[in-house]
Amino acid sequence: MLKSLFDAVMERRSRQLIEQVGAWLPNEGPVLDLGSGTGHLSARLEREMGLEVVTADVSDMHVVGPPPVMITDGVLPFEDGTFSAALLFFMLAYPDEPAAVLAEAARVTLANALGLLGISAPDSM
């Protein structure tokens, strides 16, 4: 019961995010979901928009989809210009150096690529 309630909340949240930013996303990937959390957003992007999504996080909290690529030293394990977009939702309040995270996200996305941010303070979650 609790898992189904949690899934319903996270599915609603991912649907709302896609409604808000879906028109700005590229038509093809790969797209980086940095700080992918439970995996609901990336799973929905793949399912509904047909995007190839690569998830990355400092821990594996995924309850849907494959596990994320683990980030251990603050350096993303991807080549420069790998992604057509980088999504950083609800995660920049947590790193000690958010500017370094933004710099890494910029490094691994194509020049003129899209970076979408959703910012929340830790005490608002």
Q: What is the pTM of this model?
A: 0.87
What residues contact 33, with CB distance under 8 A and at least 6 apart? 41, 42, 45, 53, 54, 55, 56, 87, 89
Measured CA to CA, the distance from residue 18 to residue 123 in angstroms comes to: 24
90 with 61: CB under 8 angstroms?
no
Report residue 124's pLDDT band, with 50, 70 and 90 as the boundaries: very low
All structural domains of the chain, each given as residue ranges with its CATH number in brackets, are 2-124 (3.40.50.150)
Note the pLDDT tens digit of each residue in 50-70.
999 999 999 999 999 999 999
Note the pLDDT tens digit of each residue in 67-81.
999 998 889 999 999
Give the DSSP H or E segment for 77: none
